[in-house]
Amino acid sequence: MNKNDLINNTFTIMAELLDEHRAELINTNKADLAECDQNDRSIYDRLAINDAKVDGMIDSLKKLISIPSPLDKELYSFEHENGLNISNITVPFGTILIIYESRPDVTVEATATALKSGNKILLKGGKEAKRSNLYLCDLWEKALERSQLDTAMIRYLNYDRKKLQEYLKTPDTEIDLIIPRGGERLIAYVKEVAKCPVLISGRGNNFMYIAESADLDMALSLVVQSKVSKISACNSLDKVLINEKLAESFYQQLKTTLTEKEVEVLEDVDDTVWMEEFLDMKIVLGKVKDLQEAINKINRFSGKHSATIVCKNDSEANTFLAEVDCAAVYHNASTRFTDGFQFGLGAEMAISTEKLHHRGPLGIEQLVTNKWIVRGNGQIR
């Protein structure tokens, strides 16, 4: 077997182990959940492992098996007049450190994404998911051993905050890329001390603009489902901008429907709230006079993650898609689709809100860098 075949075999074994040990995994997770504030619906939802979550992990692994390796792809080739053959190919970053909170399924998805793209991975999960993460890493170790691959390709950093800060200053191995998925303080600290590139998976704070030409039944459905389907997701909806020319009855219907779904509706808020990612049953409704005001407001306050427009006017939609500065922009669809699996990537490491080196879901194609290969026979310049 070549390396990619061995990795795919590891994924097959890991999928089998997850299925075989799902009861033990769910029971281990219950110990983490017992120490979680169950009134915090967002944290609880992120932390909880159930049969559906296990099935999702298995599906991600199976999808990745079916996707070709992103390595050794020729991006460019050039034949120099002196006979040099010059090409540019994809290669792994090397070792990736990901820092994340709450979600133990990241331990599966991030690891699989790293391995499929030829990288080693260092995992630093939150203390609230410690037992679940260590159990999943133990399964990964078994899968690697059975595939006769080096178990050192995966390493879990079981550190508290102080030890992690020390480690980031003086790591015991070379790190080629750090991906912090957390609060602004964590991200700022990592950017300050990191000695390698940092790819930010920042806040969501996603917006919807409902235009004068919108299908109002569609708009109502999209707002409600984008808000309540999974409040803990970074792609959930937080802010709705409504064209002021729409009937007041629609605005009131939207408020009533959201309230019936136990969503707290906020109005007339200050700039701090416009900037905030809720991860909670809260939403802001506001009126704007036109498309340009909506675009300006989104570009000022959003987390540069996802934004959507609901309208029947294609010209208006195209202006929105072109001018809104977010990683993913939508027309007549929910922001909840901003996800590696939903975008056909199989799995994701994170969702980048940076413009370099990649924006949006980080799949295997985005976790490679490039190298120039030059072949000659004695040429000098």
Average pLDDT, the chain: 95
Give per-residue pLDDT as tens, 28-81.
999 999 999 888 888 899 999 999 999 999 999 999 999 999 999 999 999 999
What's the confidence (pLDDT) of residue 131?
Answer: 97
Give per-residue pLDDT as tens, 227-280.
999 999 999 999 999 999 999 999 999 999 999 999 999 999 999 999 999 999
Tell me the percentage of the chain whose pLDDT exceeds 90: 89
Q: Is the pLDDT of residue 183 over 80?
A: no
What's the confidence (pLDDT) of residue 339?
Answer: 95
Residue identified by tokens 């977010």 is 326
Alpha helices in the chain (DSSP H): 3-20, 22-34, 41-47, 51-66, 105-116, 130-146, 161-169, 184-193, 216-228, 248-260, 271-275, 291-301, 314-323
| Phi/psi-derived region of residue 181, left when phi > 0, alpha when psi is between -120 and 50, beta in every other case | beta
Q: Is the pLDDT of residue 308 over 90?
A: yes
Residue 77 bridge partners (DSSP): 87
Residue 153 DSSP symbol: G
Torsion of CA 56, 184, 210, 285, to 10 degrees: 110
What's the confidence (pLDDT) of residue 134?
Answer: 98
Domains in the chain, start-ordered, CATH in brackets?
3-201+362-375 (3.40.605.10), 206-337 (3.40.309.10)
Complete DSSP assignment for 75-119:
EEEEE-TTS-EEEEEEEE-SEEEEE--S-THHHHHHHHHHHHTT-
Give per-residue pLDDT as tens, 322-335.
999 999 999 999 99
What's the confidence (pLDDT) of residue 42?
Answer: 86
- Let me know how long the chain is: 381
State the pLDDT confidence band at 184, using cuts at 50, 70 and 90.
confident
Give per-residue pLDDT as tens, 149-177.
999 999 999 999 899 999 999 999 999 99
